[in-house]
Amino acid sequence: MGLNDQWMQRDLAVLWHPCTQMKDHQQLPLVPIKRGEGVWLEDFEGKRYLDAVSSWWVNVFGHANPRINQRIKDQVDQLEHVILAGFSHQPVIELSERLVAMTPAGLTRCFYADNGSSCIEVALKMSFHYWLNRGLPNKKRFVTLTNSYHGETIAAMSVGDVPLFTETYKALLLDTIKVPSPDCYLRPEGMSWEEHSRTMFLVMEQTLADNHDSVAAVIVEPLIQGAGGMRMYHPVYLKLLREACDRYGVHLIHDEIAVGFGRTGTLFACEQAGIRPDFLCLSKALTGGYLPLAAVVTTDDVYDAFYDDYPTLRAFLHSHSYTGNPLACAAALATLDIFEEDNVIENNKALAQRMATATAHLVGHPHVAEVRQTGMVLAIEMVQDKATKTAYPWQERRGLKVFEHALERGALLRPLGSVVYFLPPYVITPEQIDFLAEVASEGIDIATNSKVSVAVPKDFHPGFRDPG
């Protein structure tokens, strides 16, 4: 038995993996990873895999980055953790100062959580509590987009709409208002992204007009709906939404957990619409992919609604044990240093163009409905019928075939159902992008080289698909 098999057997004896049907591993071997360097992950037998999905969208400057490593090493000898209630420390203060300086003007206060889902919970609770403190207790519902994803905790699931993740737990979820997504994959033939996004906003406008008295906030993933299949839309939707939220007195929550820190081509997606949300939720790339940390960056108006004498009970009494952990904050500070010192956003433009060029040939593939891109995210949607965009039955797991082929070739590509996507670390080279495009093309040919074998029931819902 090889080293990989030894570690796999030990794993399967004790672990329950996330987002996984564990029975799959009777046929699909786990890949135990010993070390990482740059874009590469290496298993216990020396095989390397190019991390094309940034290890669940968190890693931006490569594995074992020496600059981030050193900042964490320096910090661990000073302070590993301290309660953030009544106490503070240098890394969290410096990080908060820098986040306030780099986010859109008017975002002035940072509240920390442990992870993305918890970050969303903070923003939802904060918005609801704001209106309660302002004497408007009826404003307690949330508006969200169809096909959205905001995390796995109960309130975060409530504002999501990917059935694979939410359907089982319907009885536990909050009552939210769902508005059709501006997803431009669904636009009519010949219609531009901007025109389609403007048209789809009309439903949101009417929803807010009809329900604003009971709505606390609208929450969106700006520009890219990640777990919903890397579906994309035009920035004009965000501009119109900001104007409508102001008009109707409703908060705007931007979930930039997956798309913040350069992923969409600008440091934050909201910049492309020239707007400022009331709550900006950040995590994942915040620490360069090293440690769990999340921040809700909000306004003085929101902060002031909670600022009062203790007996009024207006304080936001929400906490996490590891809130503002110094080691995580140190990793985040090193990550921000790299953004500032290495001209990252500008360099990414050339990498994004190389991704487009390397996959351009797939536009004509008979089973590719669309190759779409926003910044450093590129998605290739496989379909059984290109003309009608008829999806493959989710039960056939076509994306899994791409995943398996990529592992054989030395790449980590983890499709979302039938959507193959590139979301690599920013330290990837043009030649490595070409390699990923070659592997993806081969995998797509393999995955689409057979007829549909599963009868699609009338209640077929494309949201039930393999998670990425």
Going by the annotation, the residues of the binding site for substrate are 56, 149, 284, 319, 414
Give the residue from 375, 369, 355, 340 showing the smallest Cα distance to 260: 375
Q: Residue with structure tokens 């193959």?
A: 420
Helix or strand run (H / E) with residue 110: strand 107-113
**Binding residue positions:** 56, 116-117, 149, 255, 284, 319-321, 414
Residue 392 contacts residue 452 (beta carbons within 8 Å): yes
At CA 420, angle to CA 443 and CA 40, rounded to 5?
80
What residues contact residue 66 under an 8 Å CB cut-off, 6+ apart? none
Binding-site residues for pyridoxal 5'-phosphate sit at 116-117, 255, 320-321
Structure tokens given for 92: 């969290």
Could you give the 3-state DSSP secondary structure of residue 396? helix
Q: Is the dihedral of CA 205, 258, 255, 155 positive or negative?
A: positive
- Show the 3-state SS of 294-351: EEEEEEHHHHHCCCCCHHHCCCCCCCCCCCCCHHHHHHHHHHHHHHHHCCHHHHHHHH
* Residue ranges of E strands in 337-407: 368-374, 377-382
